[in-house]
Chain A
Amino acid sequence: MALTTELKTPITGPFQQPIGLFINNEWVESIDKKTIEVINPTTEEVICSVAEATEKDVDIAVAAARKAFEGEWRTTTPQQRGIYMFKLTELVEKNKELLAAVESLDNGKSISMARGDVGAVIGCLRYYAGWADKIEGKTIDINPETFTYTRHEPIGVCAQIIPWNFPLLMLAWKIAPALATGNTVVLKTAEQTPLSGLVFANLIKEAGFPAGVLNIISGLGRVAGAALSSHMDVDKIAFTGSTPVGRTIMKAAAASNLKKVTLELGGKSPNVVFDDADIEQAISWVNFGIYFNHGQCCCAGSRIYVQEGIYDKFVEAFKKRAQANSVGDPFDENTFQGPQVSQLQYDRIMGYIDEGKKEGAKLETGGGRHGDKGYFIQPTIFSDVTHDMKIMQEEIFGPVCTIAKFSTEEEVIHLGNNSSYGLAAAVHTQDLNTAIRVSNALRAGTVWVNSYNLLSHQMPFGGYKESGIGRELGEAALANYTQNKSVSIRLGGAVF
């Protein structure tokens, strides 16, 4: 099997796409020569095949990461780690058009959104590169006979499994804090979207990272993902994806070697609009909150609660706004919404739309396929939705939202919190006290006030309840990849 193949995109022309596994700073085939087909969701056609990692390849990757962790990476200074990461960032910047184009090709997101993602990747890598030489423990004054200090040491070999909705961005969120704090990594991309991660992997060696520090493999969740979760020589696993899979991973971690687990899972986030909101602004944010990335956001504001005083007006205006979203070819600069990532996702979302219709929710707009080729779904709004309906309870992960009316603040807080999820939420109001009170009361890891989906590498992100364990981004992410060692040096004389 060749290790690259020629592809092209409308904006880059032909390029060499790596298709192997990136292990120990080398490109290799999978041992059993297995491959995965990669589908273009805009055309429904096969783009190419990439090497598929099985348990055997996972063993090799983990061994490489272990060797690097015990060897060269351990003696690399924190400052030098930062320097490698900055170099990697520079290379990403140099290759940003290619990375964005491959992302649009493989995932279907619009090229303008893909460029935005690459910009965020650069910001994230730079941010954590800056942390590398600032991982500080404490000295603790206990008594004059003891000198006590703590160290924040890396955990070791970290397995990271990322989803298909933001392939490059999720990769950056994962590797950046792990590498900055001195860990080594085996990262498995999503089987639906392996291509941009492989282009990225080509930059690792040039950035100067020692072999084995960062390994990137393509593989199936149920094969390579499972192998990583239950591997006896992986010290920690980080996963972003669905809640059911997150559960499986946690069980596997427990059953194997009690590896540390952080999870970033699903959501059914409430987006609350009060009577006194700036309605025009709120509509823009509510629109962005659900239709951004074609609804394929863990933190999507998929449950919209509008206070009764403005309900009718809001629904009318929002309907028009949703209908104005441009759906089409990702490589068109004006496109806002591209196709869903796969046939499977398409079917699943359409299934929920049917459920919604059956359960008696009112279909305000959309509800069907857009066009006749590619996994495109019309921006869809259901109103008059009751709380027990499936479309109100379960994560749809598509451009489908539900709108319900509420009267009081107390009621909407109760409704908002009535979910097994707790990833995000938003409050739209012009009253300062309402904003603070309601954001305090909502049990969600991120609450936006008068906006939605605005993330930053500086701000921690993660879920309450079944939306996850741990926080990514910000200083908080460092805790996911370090462990505390307390050292107690006795200075005094004999006690016994």
Chain B
Amino acid sequence: NGVKWTQPLGQFINNEYVSSSGTDTIPTINPVTEEEICAPQAATQEDVNKAVKAARAAFHAPSWKRITGTERAVFLNKLADLIEEHKEVLATIETVDTGRPYLQNLHLSISIATALFRYYAGWADKIHGQTMDCGPDKLAYTIKTPVGVVGQIIPWNVNMPSFCAKIAPALACGNTIVLKLAEAAPLVGLYMCQLIKQAGFPPGVINVLNGSGRDIGTAIASHMDIDKISFTGSTATGKEILRLAASNLKSVTLETGGKSPAVIFDDADLDNAVLWTHIGIMTNAGQICYGNSRIFVQEGIYANFLEKFRGQVEKVSVLGDPWEQTTFQGPQVSRVQYERVLEFIQSGKDEGAKVYMGGQPVSLDGKGFFVEPTVFTDVKPHMNIYREEIFGPCVVIVPFHTEKEVLEMANDTIYG
């Protein structure tokens, strides 16, 4: 779209972009053209140690430790302002790196990002402890202190919102951060770092690394001088993070996978249900952790629903170039994800489900990791496509009779 920018490729430590201590790079691929966009540097264990050291020093420095919540809020609000100012560039970078349609990035991701910063800025001077009446001879009170140096690992699917949802509350409460970007789509995070500096955050408060989950994610999760880890990603990786966190018993919060049910009763407003369940699974090419990838429809309206759902997909799920205003669905973010989704689709066919619509890969001028919006019916609960998170534009639609039955079916999952 003609937007030009300078893309940082290094690690962000102590408010400076610095070269990684190693020489590896992790090229990031444009999922529409399949071409390399650029090759950001890969962080190493040494970089993690440097970042943690910077974060630890910043945590104790008077410029962060001795300022008030009200002052922290000023930085957070300033960052929100800067994101507003830079929104076209940020949305552009997101589009190039993830293939998500430009207008969705511009209108949704940016407003979520700024709202998150402003919301948590408001909390910064409202972190209350308690006093408890233990009788006249004792003064007992609690204060809520920051955790310390927090490690944060974000996914590639909702880049800006993830980045902001992680750092905003941590900063509001006075922590310092070492954040690992998703190597499949690190560009917008790397760009954001200069805004962090501009917003006035002291050096070392927020440090950002780009590296592989296997190396850098592991290093962060097991680091002996990180006090807490927050991870968003797959359940399998989440389990690994939890295991590694036992190194120093760091606190753990995880936001992992889902196989969320949407339940449509006979008396539902059918058109409204179709509208929302379509958005619920097909947005972002199905790459949302809370996507309603299982839709349960009461038998009385089942046939009708299917037809209307097909119509909605055909009307709304326009696959195409993310720069086009009419595009609803871009490609999957990477070849790995693309192949994974196709494997699931194949397993659905192999296990005997019916492909009600879709099921095929698609390309734009012979390129691109596009997958058709896909609907499976005649699905049985033992099938992979029913049990496992596909993370693509694939939904299973299943009929039910009674409320009791559907609750059992909906709850029959390791996810929630």
Taking Cβ atoms with an 8 Å cutoff, the residues of A that contact B are 79, 82-83, 86, 123, 126-127, 129-134, 436, 440, 457-458, 475
Closest to A458 in B: B125
Name B136's contact: one of A123, A127, A132, A440 (CB within 8 Å): A440
**A130 touching B122 in the complex, CB below 8 Å, given contacts A79-B115, A86-B77, A475-B128:** yes
Closest to B125 in A: A458
Say whether B121 faces chain A, with CB atoms less than 8 Å apart: yes
**Least distance between A25 CB and chain B CB atoms (Å):** 25
**Contact A130 B123, beta carbon cutoff 8 Å:** yes
Inside 8 A of A130's CB, which chain B residues have their CB? 73, 121-126
The 8 A CB mask of B76-120 against A (1 = contact, 0 = none) is 010000000000000000000000000000000000000100110
**Contact B70 A475, beta carbon cutoff 8 Å:** no
Having A79-B115, A134-B126, one finds 14 other A-B pairs with CB under 8 Å, namely A82-B118, A123-B70, A130-B73, A130-B121, A130-B122, A130-B123, A130-B125, A131-B126, A457-B70, A457-B125, A458-B69, A458-B70, A458-B126, A475-B128
**Contact A133 B119, beta carbon cutoff 8 Å:** yes
| Interface residues of B, dominant DSSP | helix
A83 to B114, CA, bound (A): 12
Inside 8 A of B126's CB, which chain A residues have their CB? 127, 130-131, 134, 458, 475
Which 8 A-B pairs have CB atoms at the shortest separation, nearest pair first? A130-B122, A436-B139, A458-B125, A123-B70, A127-B125, A133-B119, A134-B122, A130-B121
**A133 touching B139 in the complex, CB below 8 Å, given contacts A86-B77, A126-B70:** no
Inside 8 A of A132's CB, which chain B residues have their CB? 122
**Least distance between B266 CB and chain A CB atoms (Å):** 19
Inside 8 A of A457's CB, which chain B residues have their CB? 70, 125
Closest to A123 in B: B70
Question: Which of B69, B126, B136 neighbours the largest number of chain A CB atoms within 10 Å of its CB?
Answer: B126
**Least distance between A427 CB and chain B CB atoms (Å):** 14
Inside 8 A of A126's CB, which chain B residues have their CB? 70, 73
Inside 8 A of B118's CB, which chain A residues have their CB? 82-83, 86
**Contact B122 A133, beta carbon cutoff 8 Å:** yes
**Least distance between A439 CB and chain B CB atoms (Å):** 9
**Least distance between B138 CB and chain A CB atoms (Å):** 9
Interface residues of B in 116-168 (CB under 8 A from A): 118-119, 121-126, 128, 136, 139
A134 to B123, CA, bound (A): 9
Inside 8 A of A133's CB, which chain B residues have their CB? 119, 122
A332 to B139, CA, bound (A): 45
The 8 A CB mask of B55-76 against A (1 = contact, 0 = none) is 0000000000000011001000
Closest to A79 in B: B115
A440 to B128, CA, bound (A): 20
Closest to B80 in A: A86
Inside 8 A of A436's CB, which chain B residues have their CB? 139
**A131 touching B122 in the complex, CB below 8 Å, given contacts A79-B115, A126-B70, A436-B139:** yes
**Least distance between A182 CB and chain B CB atoms (Å):** 16
A79 to B114, CA, bound (A): 12
A86 to B114, CA, bound (A): 14
Taking Cβ atoms with an 8 Å cutoff, the residues of B that contact A are 69-70, 73, 77, 115, 118-119, 121-126, 128, 136, 139
A83 to B73, CA, bound (A): 14
Closest to B118 in A: A82
**Least distance between B137 CB and chain A CB atoms (Å):** 9
Closest to B119 in A: A133
Q: List 22 A-B contacts (CB under 8 A).
A: A82-B118, A82-B122, A83-B118, A86-B77, A86-B118, A126-B70, A127-B125, A130-B73, A130-B123, A130-B126, A131-B126, A132-B122, A133-B119, A133-B122, A134-B122, A134-B123, A134-B126, A436-B139, A457-B70, A458-B69, A458-B70, A475-B126
**Least distance between B355 CB and chain A CB atoms (Å):** 39
A458 to B127, CA, bound (A): 10
A201 to B290, CA, bound (A): 46
**Least distance between B367 CB and chain A CB atoms (Å):** 41
A127 to B69, CA, bound (A): 10
A126 to B115, CA, bound (A): 16
A127 to B124, CA, bound (A): 9
Inside 8 A of B69's CB, which chain A residues have their CB? 458
Inside 8 A of B73's CB, which chain A residues have their CB? 126, 130
Inside 8 A of A440's CB, which chain B residues have their CB? 136
Closest to A441 in B: B136
**Least distance between A76 CB and chain B CB atoms (Å):** 15
Name B70's contact: one of A79, A82, A127, A134 (CB within 8 Å): A127
A440 to B70, CA, bound (A): 28
A131 to B126, CA, bound (A): 9
Question: Which of A86, A130, A133 neighbours the largest number of chain B CB atoms within 10 Å of its CB?
Answer: A130
Inside 8 A of A82's CB, which chain B residues have their CB? 118, 122
A134 to B128, CA, bound (A): 14
Closest to B121 in A: A130
A440 to B141, CA, bound (A): 14
Inside 8 A of B122's CB, which chain A residues have their CB? 82, 129-134
A123 to B74, CA, bound (A): 10
A458 to B122, CA, bound (A): 12
A83 to B118, CA, bound (A): 9
**Least distance between B141 CB and chain A CB atoms (Å):** 11
**Least distance between A330 CB and chain B CB atoms (Å):** 28
A134 to B115, CA, bound (A): 13
**Least distance between A109 CB and chain B CB atoms (Å):** 23
A129 to B74, CA, bound (A): 13
Inside 8 A of B139's CB, which chain A residues have their CB? 436
Inside 8 A of B115's CB, which chain A residues have their CB? 79
A436 to B70, CA, bound (A): 27
Inside 8 A of A79's CB, which chain B residues have their CB? 115, 119
**Least distance between B39 CB and chain A CB atoms (Å):** 40
A134 to B70, CA, bound (A): 16
**Least distance between A144 CB and chain B CB atoms (Å):** 14
Closest to B74 in A: A126
**Least distance between B84 CB and chain A CB atoms (Å):** 12
A457 to B70, CA, bound (A): 10
Inside 8 A of A83's CB, which chain B residues have their CB? 118
A134 to B127, CA, bound (A): 13
A145 to B330, CA, bound (A): 45
Inside 8 A of A123's CB, which chain B residues have their CB? 70
Inside 8 A of B119's CB, which chain A residues have their CB? 79, 133
A108 to B252, CA, bound (A): 57
Question: Which of B124, B128, B139 neighbours the largest number of chain A CB atoms within 10 Å of its CB?
Answer: B139
A436 to B136, CA, bound (A): 10
**Least distance between B80 CB and chain A CB atoms (Å):** 10
Inside 8 A of B136's CB, which chain A residues have their CB? 440
A82 to B122, CA, bound (A): 9
Inside 8 A of B128's CB, which chain A residues have their CB? 475
Inside 8 A of B77's CB, which chain A residues have their CB? 86
A134 to B126, CA, bound (A): 11
Inside 8 A of B125's CB, which chain A residues have their CB? 127, 130, 457-458
A457 to B136, CA, bound (A): 29
